[in-house]
Structure formats: structure tokens, C-alpha cells
Amino acid sequence: MYFLIASIIEVFTNHVASGASSASVLAIASVCLLQYVVYTMKMSAVRKENAEFQQHYHDVEEELNDVQSDRAMTLIENHILREFVAQSEFDQTIDLLLKRYVPSIREGLGLYLNRVNGEFKVRDSRGITRNSKAVFEFDERQLKQLKTQNVIILRGQELRNSKIYQCFDEQDKPRIHKLCLLAVYDKNTISGVFLTTNLYPDGVDEQQQIKLAKRLLVCVSRNIVKNQDYESYRFELRVTREQLELRALADQQFKTPVIMLEEFLDRLRLLTNSSRASLFLSTPHDFSNCKSIVDCGMTLQAGVKTRWKEHELTLVRLGLNSGENTSLSGEQLENHGVRSLIGAALVSPLITNRKRIGAICLTNQECQPFDERALRLISWASQFLSNTLLKVLNHANIEKQARQDGLTGLVNRRSFDELIDNAFGRAQAAQSACSLILIDLDHFKSINDTYGHQAGDEVLRRVARILQDRIKEIRSSDNVIAARYGGEELAILLPEIGLAGAERIAEVIRHSIETAAIEFNDTRIPVTASLGLSTYTPQAMESVQTLVAAADGALYQAKSDGRNRVCSLTSAPV
């Protein structure tokens, strides 16, 4: 513009100086101005056309980049889908996707939550510690947002305030700078959620990552749901098969009902991968007096076993008080005082006629919580035993009564003859010791004649209690058997105990009988006993009859030598 004005002024000045008229000068100036306007319009059109060309070029370039990016993302998507379809196992598929989204567990973590009965439970994970929760909670707002957007990303304060973040262990939280939630759908319902600290692939714009994630979820959800249905079918089939296995085991013929319970419980332990399993009985409405009647599993040292049983008792009382299945692990156990030995526990109460009569307790050294299958199996087992346990215990009581002497509560003669045959056979096979003590109450007929038969019965009952008390003090008391051999004659079988040990035990029993304060109708009755014992020796004894005859001969010797003493055929009177 300045150039135009200067040109016009210069033309005007030159023409005036040369004597040209003002009209001519004005006409020339107008022509110049018009030429400049035309030139300016042309240049403006050129610039506009150039700008449009540049914009078109830029649009084409961006479109080309988008096409190339979409092609690259499609290739990635197709590659993942091919890998996914190639997997035949559901867990392998989930594991593959987690590895895609979490290539390095040092830098990130991920897990897949499977929705079961309204709860989001960890199905598979990568990079998280064992102490993270097995069930994750969602904020309702975030869950609604996830339903509409399919993919959401939590950062900053929103992440730290979320329920999901609180479910992670403190060791995991430092690696969580953002959390990506990817929903898997079954029709219009969220059937599962991927939680990852990164999206895929690295180095790509986040919006592109989200687009890829959404496209993958659309393609993958169908297969995941299909696999979940298949897994659910397999799960139900397996649980049913294992329940039938337990039922068939309980229907078999066992020597005693207690043996059946032991076999049943041990099989349940193996099916649930537990370290130990115990069956407790309790008095309804009074759970302080719980008692373990059957336990099985790995062998524990004496001190460890005592502590483990204390923990079991604590857990059983907890389960009985709640009245429902109780699964505890890690910090949950510590909160109830179980801070050692047991890493996970599962308790299921036995309920009959709305009364809690006992509980099954499964315990494990590992901290990994019991899974859904274990919960289903113990629930079925507790229901099954609730319906059958009273019958089993009634049979056990009947059997116990059939094996017991009605007056003394000791093993009766018929059962004792079977037990001594078995013990003698084991001693022969192992070439180990086995001793027998025969006990005869001195002048028992005189007691009956002097104090009456009821007094004689009371004497037998009191002496039987003395034998039971002394047996409890013997290290191998689980195998020691006390029996009423006949009339006033009693017997004690001592498997794996030699002559010297048998003599010490016999003398303790003799002294306990002699010093016992036995009263009937406010009258003290003096009681003594003669004891004869024998010990199995491979060279001298070939049968049970030989062992019994030797003990009987020693008893006769004790009576002949003045009664109230212990004799054996291989030792002098004590």
C-alpha cells in the first residue's frame, strides 16, 4: 500500500512538473490503483488456493497416518485374537492377555476378576502378592461408569480413594500409578473385569490404546463368556464327581464308624489340598466345650500338634458362633490370634434341627485362601455329616457298648480275645515286645460275703477306674487295652512294652489298688490284688495261648507267695 501511494505521488509530481493537466494525472493514478487492486485480488486468490492445498495435503497426510495406525493396530488386534483362539484352556487365555498388558511384573501388575454370585473374585493374576484380597470391591459410581464406557482409567486421588485400590496389598500399591479397568460382558451384564496398570501397546497414544482395548473386549468377551460357561460346566461336573466319591466312601463297610469318619475326612482333605482336617463336636448353644473326635493329615511334632489344635479350636468356635462357612487367611487369621503355623483355614458348621452340633475344620500351611471348589465340597460334606453323624455316633455307641463290660466300662472278654490275637500277630511279624498282665482281686468272695454283692460291684468299678487312670499315664496309652477278663479277674495288654516296663506298670497298679480309699455305704473296704505277667519272646512263645498261660502261671505264683504282689515267670516276686 505504501509502495502504491509513493508511486502515485511520484507519477503525479512528474506529470505536474511537465505541465500535464490534473485530469490526466488523475486518470493515470486511477489506472494504477485499479491495476494494484486486481493484482492484490489475484495474489489473495493464489494465497487462499495455496492454503487450501496445504490443508488438503495435511488432511491427506493425517488420513494416511490414521490408516497406517489403524492398520498397525488391526495387525496387533488380529495377532492377539489369533493367539487367543489358539488357546484351548481358559486360564491360559487369561494368562496370555495379562502378559500382553503386563509384560514386566517389576513395573506393573494385572489381574482378572471373575464375577461369581455378585462378587468379583480373583481368577488369575500377574505380579501381585499373595496378601492382596481374593475378592475385590468396586465403587458403585465407577461400576456404573464401567458399564457405559467399557474402559475407564483411575488416576491420582480418585485412584487412591477407590475401594479397588484398598484391596491391593501395601507391597503392591507403590507400583500402581494408574489403574485401567476393562469390562468383559455377558449380554448386558459385566461377567468379569481386567485390572491392569498399563494399556497395550506401549508407546501409542492413550486414546488409541483405549480404542484397541474396546475392540478387543468386543471380540474377546464372547469367547471369554463361552469359556467361562464351559469352565462352569466342568467345575460343576468335577464337584459332583467328588461329592459322589465322598458319598461312595461313606457307604462302604468299615470295621467301625469312627474309621469311616477318618477315611471320609482324609479324602476331603486330599480333595481340597489341605494340610490337616478335623471333625469337632460341641454342645448346642455352648461352643466352649468343643472336642475333636477325628483328625488327619500331615504328621506334627508333639508341641506343634498341641499349638495347631489350639488354633483349630479357636477357628471352630468362630465358625460355630457365625453359623456359616468361614474362610480365613493371612491377616484375617492374625486378627483372631492365629499368627503362626496355619496360613489358611476353612470351617463349616454341622447343623441338625437348627442346632449347631459340631464343625469340620480344614487348615493349610500355605497362605493361599481356599477356592470355590473347596468351599462347595466342605459345605456338602458338613450337610452330609449333619444328616448322618448322629446315626454314625449311635452305631458307634452301640458298638462300644457291645465291646464294653457293662459293670466296669472296660473291654469285655470276647473283644479282648480278638484284640490280643491281633496284637500277638503284630508282635510276631515285627519281632517286637508284647506283655500281658492278669490281675485278680484278693479274697473277693469274702468282700461279697461281708459287704454284699453291691459293694463287690462298687469295688470292681473303682478298680477299673484305677486301671484306666494308670493307663493314661503310659506313653503308648493309645495301644494299651484294659479288660474284664472274668469275674474279679482283670487284664491289661501292653503292646510294644517289654518285661521290665511291664513290671513297673504292674507294681504301680498294685500299689494304687492297695492304697485306694474304696468306700461303700460309708464303710471303707480294704482291697488288694495279685498280678501275674508275661512277655512275648520268639524263642519260647508260639501262640497267644502260650502268652496267656505264662501270665496265668505267674498270677498263680503271686497268690501262692502270699498275694498282694507282682510275679512273672522270669523274675522273682517283687
Distance, CA of 90 to CA of 222 (rounded, Å): 13
Distance, CA of 282 to CA of 291 (rounded, Å): 6
Choose the catalytic residue: 77, 262, 488, 503.
488
Distance, CA of 384 to CA of 319 (rounded, Å): 18
Distance, CA of 248 to CA of 267 (rounded, Å): 11
Output the CA angle 479-426-259, nearest 5 degrees: 55
**Do 154 and 179 touch, CB atoms closer than 8 A?**
yes
* Residue whose cell numbers read 485306694: 516
Output the CA angle 412-416-417, nearest 5 degrees: 125
Helix then strand then coil, in percent of the chain rounded to 5, is 55, 20, 25
Q: Is 312 left (phi over 0), alpha (psi -120 to 50) or beta?
A: alpha
Whether 488 sits among the annotated catalytic residues: the reply is yes
Q: 348: which strand partners?
A: 360
Residue 535: strand, helix, or coil: strand
* Residue whose cell numbers read 495379562: 98
For 424, phi then psi, to 5°, come to: -65, -40
Instruction: Count how many residues are written for the chain.
Output: 574
| Active site residues per annotation | 488
